[in-house]
A and B are shown apart, each in its own frame.
Chain A
């Protein structure tokens, strides 16, 4: 049973991706993708039923697992090195060349294997598997019609979709492997696959900018790879074990182990695009939208957060923990500030993703049961809402050929369904009673004892509201007396969108259950009591069910008022004589002045050119504090 589950979760998506390469027609390819995704998602649900486990699968297709992974590790590094040479990038050659040499040296002379199981899942791994396999699968399915339209738009002579879906669907398998493996060399292997897949996916369109940004992603994640490898070697030489559980059990007390853990967290920082490594994630926005959605909501970046959360017991109560919390909180506030100046929807989402990841990492750094709960819940809720928003932007972009929020004015008339779903996504990202805000509430209350962190969280959360509120308002606006139109939405786009929108709402409602079932087993003492759908502790209380009922009633009454409204639609006030159709007013000498709207972006204060350098310098200093503090 266990081996079958592991096979379905890790190997099957990779095989399904490979099958996309060989199937002849696009309908067959679609069927393969849907089938693989459905099976993976079903396997993740049955893993939920199966519960936590640890085990050592010996063989896959009669090949010993450990040997296979070690072999593939070198093959993979070799392939990346090949790309590094074809890109003629000396730095990447050095980074990956070093990794091959160091890994070979490690495997031959240093690695001490213990009898510890190679795979291990607690509820944190299960949460991750569910997020990857369900949200990730929905995004892959959304990718089928998206890529069709994308290639029609590009007028490609020969479809490049087989290659695209190989990496996209295969990514799910690599991520599941990463979160389920306990042998740190296995984790390293899966970590490198995600680096490689993201490189291939970001560069998919083969434009000059795509190749440049893919190269940058490879470079920064290569730095992460080196940090991980060094951390792994260091940890192994201190504890004599390759098992992550045994390394964590050695705890902060083991001499010298803290620095190894800091190196692994640094690798997590690069994956999670924390400052000052954010540029690869921003660059990754050139990729087709399903890639952005997959990499930045449910997979890639969450691997970084997962690593830091996984190792959090190993630095709990140390200065390293505090330093990680400060770094994360700084990323949270700084990238939220950068997002204020953006009008490009994907870039807004990119910055807000980094920001939320920063909050999760801050929670992992604080390390109290309350903070860990906040971090894990935020990870789940953020994945669903952010995946949804990315997919919405992709769908909207294919219709209006722009991803600028200024161009999304009037969408509630031109694309009513897509606009409504996007607004639901935005609301679930920033308002109670929904899960993202629940986690943010927990995080703020958990951070209240750390003055540095709490000030940054307070400012950051206000900035977040500004970013999303502006965008939501733009979606609602409509020209005077515009008649709602019907915009086409393919089934395979509509289904994932509605599933994620529904999921974001229902999961928030299920937050108390999610907490008791999946988060509680992870923490030493229960941070909250659950009664009548309310999370309570001596410090605070969050009324999940009561708020759902009260606010739900408010929303219902509002909706009823809208439906029953007999209000006359009057032209807006322009402070002068309106034009006959009220699209503007009569200016001097009766010349028509059309209505125009524009958002405040406050570029004089929050502009990228104003802030980025200072923020990077600040983040560099904090990183130095984190690494130096771990010595």
Chain B
């Protein structure tokens, strides 16, 4: 019962948190670029405005896909807060990620098509890494369930530093930060315009945006599991991680999918393997 309530709290709270993080992100980014930046609440204003717009689509599948995207993102966050199985909640999240791509592929627009394929490559790049991070949690704590991991008595960062970096890669790709903003990026002044998102508009774009907030909270929640023993530690870890993301976003340029796949799989898989060997041979 507590699990269900926690799950519901997660589902309700996550969009608020996610929106605030997005607002902070924009503010910090602006400061890094010597701009003043929008108010912290700007993402909420944007989404509310989008909800009020006249709905327009290119293909009716987009409506379906936007709804499924937000539903599965919300359910996966709910599962995280309810202490559910890491692999399961990640697979539920993947439903939404794939439906976002489905919707983009449904539109006969070159930008949308290329963006969708690049988004698929991004999924391909981060998915194995995240699964291996979960395997690390299992080897260290004996369980894939968040509730059991939280019951573990020491911060996992000490045992899984390399896997934390690996998760950092996955976070950067998932948040579509440079150098991995291949499928779409914050501004439309680039060759793909808005890529995978280009044909989503009005209320449907708002749904996609909310789903993205959920996903941000989800991946940051996974990061938080690395220092779950103290709220303070968790907060520091998340703040440092997210700041590093924003910094990275501002100092790197976008790379190609080939580079992403080679680099992320090469280094990411190697670091995962080394850390998994570390945990399993040292003994939890």
Contact = CB atoms under 8 A, between A and B. Distances in A.
Contact of A454 (B61, B84, B111, B135): B135
Contacts of B258: 604-605
Interface stretch (B20-28, B112-120, B241-249): B112-120
A466 B143 contact: no
B30 interface: no
B64 interface: yes
Contact of B58 (A455, A462, A569, A598): A569
Contacts of B68: 554-555, 558
A540 interface: yes
A601 B103 CA distance: 19
Given A472-B102, A473-B102, A539 B143 contact: yes
Nearest to A442: B87
A539 B87 CA distance: 11
B67 A540 contact: no
Contacts of A571: 58
A562 B63 contact: yes
B71 A553 contact: yes
B171 interface: no
A558 B67 contact: yes
Which of B116, B202, B269 lies at the interface centre, i.e. has the most chain A CB atoms within 10 A of its CB? B116
Interface stretch (A74-82, A208-216, A289-297, A475-483): A475-483
B124 A466 contact: yes
B140 to A, nearest CB: 11
B144 A558 contact: no
Interface string A545-558: 00100110111011
Interface string B43-54: 000000000001
Interface string A126-155: 000000000000000000000000000000
Given A445-B144, A539-B144, A466 B123 contact: yes
A394 B199 CA distance: 32
Dominant secondary structure at the B interface: helix
A2 interface: no
A598 B103 CA distance: 16
B108 interface: yes
A599 B54 CA distance: 32
Contacts, number: 219
A470 B120 contact: yes
A543 interface: yes
Given A441-B91, A444-B87, A451-B277, A565 B98 contact: no
B267 to A, nearest CB: 14
A551 B71 contact: yes
B132 interface: yes
Contact of A572 (B79, B87, B108): B108
A191 to B, nearest CB: 36
Contacts of B238: none
Contact of B91 (A437, A539, A561, A573): A437
A575 to B, nearest CB: 7
A540 B143 contact: yes
A599 B121 CA distance: 12
Given A555-B68, A558-B64, A431 B280 contact: no
A353 interface: no
B64 A559 contact: yes
B152 to A, nearest CB: 14
A466 B120 contact: yes
Contacts of B124: 462-463, 465-466
A476 B193 contact: no
Given A448-B139, A470-B117, A540-B145, A572 B107 contact: yes
Interface residues of A, number: 68
Contacts of B71: 550-551, 553-555, 557-558
B107 A543 contact: no
A538 interface: yes
Contact of B273 (A451, A558, A568, A597): A451
B105 A470 contact: yes
A572 to B, nearest CB: 4
Contacts of A117: none
A550 B75 contact: yes
B128 A458 contact: yes
B276 A451 contact: yes
A570 B62 CA distance: 12
A412 interface: yes
B135 A448 contact: yes
A542 B276 CA distance: 24
A574 interface: yes
Interface in B213-259: 258
A557 B135 contact: no
A566 interface: yes
Given A462-B128, A561-B67, 17 more contacts: A449-B139, A451-B273, A462-B123, A463-B124, A469-B102, A476-B59, A476-B105, A477-B105, A539-B138, A539-B143, A542-B88, A543-B79, A562-B63, A572-B109, A572-B199, A573-B199, A575-B193
Q: Which 4 A-B pairs have the closest CB atoms?
A: A473-B105, A554-B71, A558-B67, A572-B109
Interface of A: 412, 430-432, 437, 441, 444-445, 448-449, 451, 454-455, 457-459, 461-463, 465-466, 469-470, 472-474, 476-480, 538-543, 547, 550-551, 553-555, 557-559, 561-562, 565-575, 595-600, 602, 604-605
28 contacts: A437-B91, A448-B135, A451-B276, A454-B135, A457-B131, A458-B129, A461-B127, A462-B124, A462-B128, A462-B131, A465-B123, A466-B121, A469-B98, A470-B105, A472-B98, A476-B105, A477-B108, A538-B143, A551-B71, A554-B71, A558-B71, A562-B60, A567-B55, A567-B63, A567-B204, A573-B193, A595-B109, A600-B118
